Structure 1
Amino acid sequence: MGRKILGFIFLFIILLVSYQCAQRGTPTGGPKDITPPKLLKAEPANLSTNFSEKKIRLYFDELVKLKDIQKQLIISPPLKYAPILSPLGGANKFVEITLKDTLEPNTTYTLNFGRGIVDNNEENAIPFFTYIFSTGDYIDSLELSGVVTDAFNKKVDQFISVMLYKIDTSYTDSTIYKRPPNYITNTLDSAVIFKLKNLKEGKYALFGIKDAANNNVFDQKTDKIGFVEDTINLPTDSIYLLNLFKEIPDYGVAVPSMVASNKISFGYYGDGSAISIEPINALPDTVKSIVVKERDKDTLNFWFTPFEMDSILFSITNEQLKLKDTFNVKNRKVAFDSLKISMNQRGNIEFDQPINLQINTPLISFDTTKIKLMDKDSVPIVHTITLDTLENQLNFDFTIATGQNYQLDLFPGAITDFFEQTNDTISYNLRTKSPADYGNLTLNLNANTIQYPIIVQLTNEKGEVQREIYAKESQSFEFINLNPGKYLARVIYDLNGNGKWDTGNYLKKIQPERVSYYPTTIELRANWEKIETFNLIE
C-alpha cells in the first residue's frame, strides 16, 4: 500500500515537472524581425585599389543566404565567366565570391547584389548592396542617372538592364548585338529610376534592354530596347530617358511543318506581306493548293488536297527583299483538318466591336439565302455580309440596338470551303443589355497644341483595347454604351497617319510614336454619364 502511494506521488511529481517544462517552453511571441543583415567586414576591404585577389568574403552580423542571386547580381563591367558564389541552398555568416575571369587593368568593378542577400529567418534583404574595387590606383567616381519608361504600356517591366558602352575604335552600332557593355545596372521591382556609378570619363552610348536571356546583349526577336540617340559625354549632370519598345523583327523564315494531312505551316518573322510559297517538285494534276495567312499569327498555311507522297520541296521567296529559302517538308501521319466555324462574339455582344464568323479552313464562298438574322420577335434584320479573304472570315454589318436579342442561323450549305466541305445547321444567340446597364464616358483633351491625327483608346487594366476613336482634327471623344468597369485611356500620336501605333527601330535611329496615358484609372458604373479632362503635356 505504501509503495502504491509512493508511486502515485512520483507520477504526480513527473507530471508537474513536465507541465512546468512545457509552460517554460511556450513561445511568447514578440515583434517581427524587419532588420536586414549588416556587413561587419569585407576581405579585401570594400573600395580596395590595386585589387588582384581571386576570392572575396563578405562577413555579416547574422546568418544570411542568397536569394534569386542569378537574377539579382549585376557585375559591371560584365565578366565573361560567372563567379562562383556561396552559400547556395544554405545559410552562413559570410558570402564568398570566387572570380574565374582575368580582370582588366586599371578598371573599377562594381558587384551590385540587388536584393539577393537576405537573412536566414525572415528573408529581410540588404537593398542594393554593392561591393566595389579597382585593379588600378583609384576608384572611378563619375555617375549617370535617368528614367526608364515603356513606349506603349503604362507600366514599365521589371529588371530592365541599363547598359553603357564606351565609344572607341572598336565600337559600332552592331556592338550591342555582340558583346556585353562596359557598365551595367538594372532596375528592381517597380523602380523606373536608374543610376550608374563609379564610371570613367569618356564618350558612351546608353541603352535600356529587357534582357529575356540574361546574356547582356540585345536579341531583337525577344528583347525590348530603348536608346539615347546622342553621345553621352561624361562627366554630365543631364538626366536621360530610356523609352523601351519591341522592334518588328528582321525578316526570317522558320522551318515549316506538316501540321495536318492537308496543311503545311510556314512561320516567319518580320514583314511577311511579300512572301510567296511555291512547290519546286511538280504536284499531281489532281492536287489543288492555296496559301492563306493564319489569323492573328505570323504564319502562312499551304493548304492542299492530300495525296501519296514522301515529301514536298518548297521555294519561299520574299519579293521585296529579293531573298529565297528552300525547305524540304516530309510527310507525317497527321489528321485531316476539317471545316470548323466559330463566332468572334458569343452571348452578350459589344457595341463598336465587329461581328464575324471565323473559319479554320480556306473560305471559298457563302450563300446569303441560307443565312438568316432575326430579332427577338423573329423579324428579319437588315444586314450585309462580306467575305474577308485576308482574315478568312465573314463580316456582318447591321445596326445593333440596346436591350435586344438576335438569332443568327446558318442552314446547310451556307458556307463552302476550299475542300468543298459545307456546314450543318448552326444557330447563334446574341443579345445586348438595356441602356441602364451601360455607362457613357466623354474625354475632353486639354493642351495648348495637339498634332493631329491622333488615336484615343480605352483599354482594360490588362492593356487590351476596348474602344478607340481616330481623329484628324479637334473634337469631343464620346464613348457610349460601355460595360461597367475600370478603364485606362491613352492618346497615340499617329505621326505618319497610318491609323495605328508604330514602334521604333534602333539601327534606323527611329523612336516609337509617342503615347500619353491618362494618369489614373477611370471607373465607370452602370447608368453613369462621366466626363473627364485629359491634360496633355506637349
Structure 2
Amino acid sequence: MVIANTGKADSSLVVVLHRKFDDSAVVKDRPRYLTRMDSTGSFYFENIQPGRYAVYAMKDEGGSHKYLSKGQLFAFADSPVVITENTSPLTLYAYAEETGTRPKTTTTQTPAQPAGRKTAREREKDRRLQFQTNATNGVFDVLDTFRITFATGMKVFDSTQLRFTDENFKDIDPRRYRYVRDTTNKIFAMFYNWPTDTKFNLIIPKTFGQDSAGRRLLKDDTVTWRTKKDIDYGEIRIRIPNLNMSQRPVLQMVVGDNVKYSFPFNNRREVRMILFPPGEYELRVLYDTNGNLRWDTGNFFGKKLQPERVIPIRRKLTVKANWDNDIDISL
C-alpha cells in the first residue's frame, strides 16, 4: 500500500475484498474478507475461497469497512483480481479526493469602545488604509512574487497611478511587469523578472484607491526594497538518467509535508536552477500525466481514474548558499 501523493508506504489502512463488482458495493455492503497492513504497508489474505474479487483499501472510519466520504483515504484495483494458489502481488495507491469545501470559521466580536475614549492616533488609524508588502526588512527574494496585502478588500485599485522605479526613481517600462489581484481583493501580486542585488521603489499616491469602507491613504507613500544577492542562493543540478520521460516526470522539492517547488525535467533528464534558496529538501518524482505540474487525485465513481504516482527519493538535498549543488540519482 502506497500513499499516492507522497510515495510512502502506509500501515493504517484496511484492505477489503468484495464479491459484487458494482461501484456501490464498497459504500453499501460489508466486505467478504478484510485484512490489515503490517508495519511495512504490506497486506496478505489467508484461507479465502478462490474466485474473482474487487479489491479496495481505505482508512477505516468508525469500523464500518466502507467508503463513506471523499475526504477518506481510499484505493482501488483497476480490475477484479482472480484469487488462486499463486496470486500475483498487487500494489494499491491511496488518495483522498479534494472536496472543495472549506472549514467553518467562528468569529468573535470585541465590543467597541466609546468613540470619546479613543486616542487621536487610534482615530487616525481607523480611517487610514493599511497595507504591507512581502519585502521583509527591505529585502526581497527574487524567486518570490512581490505582493501588496491590504487589511481589507479593495473597492478601487488603480495600478496606473502606481510608479514602479529603479533606485534613481526612473520609471520602469510598464510592459515589463503586471499586477494580478486575488479573489478577496486584498492581495495584489506584481509579476516581474527580478534581477539580483538591485534596488527598487514603489511610489503610491494617496489617490490610487480605497477599500470597501472608503478608507484611503492619508498621504503619498513610498516602499523601497533591494533584491537579494547572487551569493544568497545556491545553484542546483539534479540528474536522474533512468527516468521514464513519457510520463512527464516532475521534480518535487519538499519541506516538511509541503511541496515547496516543482520543476519539470528537461530532455537531458535533469533539473538545473542557477538561483535556488538554501535549505534542506526531501526529493520526489511526480509522474505528471496531465502536465499541470502538480499532483492530481484519483476518482473512483464514474471515471475509475487512478491518482498520479509519486516516487520518493531516499536521499535529501542540502542546498548551500554560494555553492554548486550537483548530484546524480538513480530511481
Pairwise TM-score range, normalised by the shorter structure: 0.7 to 0.9
- What count of residue pairs does the alignment treat as equivalent? 306
Partner Cα distance (2:102, 2:240) in 1: 45
Q: Is the 2:53–2:81 contact (alpha carbons within 8 Å) kept by the matching residues of 1?
A: yes
Partners of 1:371 and 1:419 in 2: how far apart? 21
Shift of 1:436: 2.3
In the alignment, structure 1 residue 182 sits paired with structure 2 residue 35: no
Paired residues of 1:453 and 1:473 also in contact (CA < 8 A): no
The one of 175, 181, 187 equivalent to 1:388 is 181
Alpha-carbon displacement from aligned partner over 1:212-242 (angstroms, at most 9, x marks no partner): 5554221333212111112122234311101
Equivalents in 1 of 2:104, 2:196: separation in Å? 47
Ranges of 4+ aligned residues in structure 1 off by more than 6 Å: 253-261
Structure 1 residues 442 and 164, CA, compared in 2 at 3 Å: closer, same or farther?
A: same
Q: Counterpart of 1:161 in structure 2: which amino acid?
A: V
| Aligned-pair identity (%) | 23
Q: Once the 2 structures are TM-superposed, how far is the Cα of residue 420 of structure 1 from its aligned partner?
A: 4.2
Alpha-carbon distance in 1 for matches of 2:210, 2:70 = 38
Compute the displacement of 1:150 (Å).
1.5
Aligned-partner SS, 1:218: coil
Instruction: Please give the alpha-carbon distance, in whole angstroms, between the structure 1 residues aligned to 2:266 and 2:243.
Output: 16
Matched, 1:149 2:5: no
Q: Distance in 2 between matches of 1:345 and 1:444?
A: 33
Residue equivalent to 1:501: 295
Can you list the C-alpha shifts for 1:476-529, whole angstroms capped at 9, x where unaligned?
Answer: 421232222111233333323344432211122111123333331111222220
Q: Give the secondary-structure state (helix, strand or coil) at the position aligned to 1:504.
A: coil
Q: Quick check: 1:510 aligned with 2:305?
A: yes
Bigger radius of gyration: 1
Q: 1:416 to 1:455 in 2, by over 3 A?
A: farther
- For the 8 Å contact 1:363–1:389, the answer to whether it is kept is no
- Secondary structure in 2 aligned to 1:217? coil
Which protein is richer in strand relative to its size? Answer: 1
1:151 deviates by 1.1
Alignment match, 2:232:
437
Question: 1:340/1:243 Cα in 2 relative to 1: closer, same or farther (>3 Å)?
Answer: farther
Q: 2:275 aligns with which of 481, 484, 487?
A: 481
Please give the alpha-carbon distance, in whole angstroms, between the structure 1 residues aligned to 2:235 and 2:103.
49
AA partner of residue 143 (structure 2)? D
Q: How far apart, CA to CA, are the structure 1 residues paired with 2:102 and 2:198? A: 47
Structure 2 distance, partners of 1:452, 1:351, is: 31
In structure 1, which of residues 383, 395, 398 is the aligned counterpart of residue 192 of structure 2?
398
Per-residue displacement from partner, 1:260-294 (whole Å, max 9, x unpaired)? 99xxxxxxxxxxxxxxxxxxxxxxxxxxxxxxxxx
Q: Which runs of 5+ in 2 are unaligned?
A: 110-127
Give TM-score, length-normalised by structure 1: 0.49
**2:46 match:** 197
Q: Decide whether the 8 Å contact of 1:490 with 1:516 is kept in 2.
A: yes
- Cα RMSD of the aligned pairs, angstroms, is 3.7
Q: Is the 1:503–1:511 contact (alpha carbons within 8 Å) kept by the matching residues of 2?
A: yes
Q: CA deviation at 1:456?
A: 2.9
Aligned to 2:145: 354
Aligned partner of residue 436 in structure 1, secondary structure: helix
CA contact (8 A) 2:10 2:40 kept: no
Structure 1 counterpart of 2:157: 366
CA contact (8 A) 2:155 2:210 kept: yes
The answer as to whether partners of 1:484 and 1:526 remain within 8 angstroms in 2 is yes
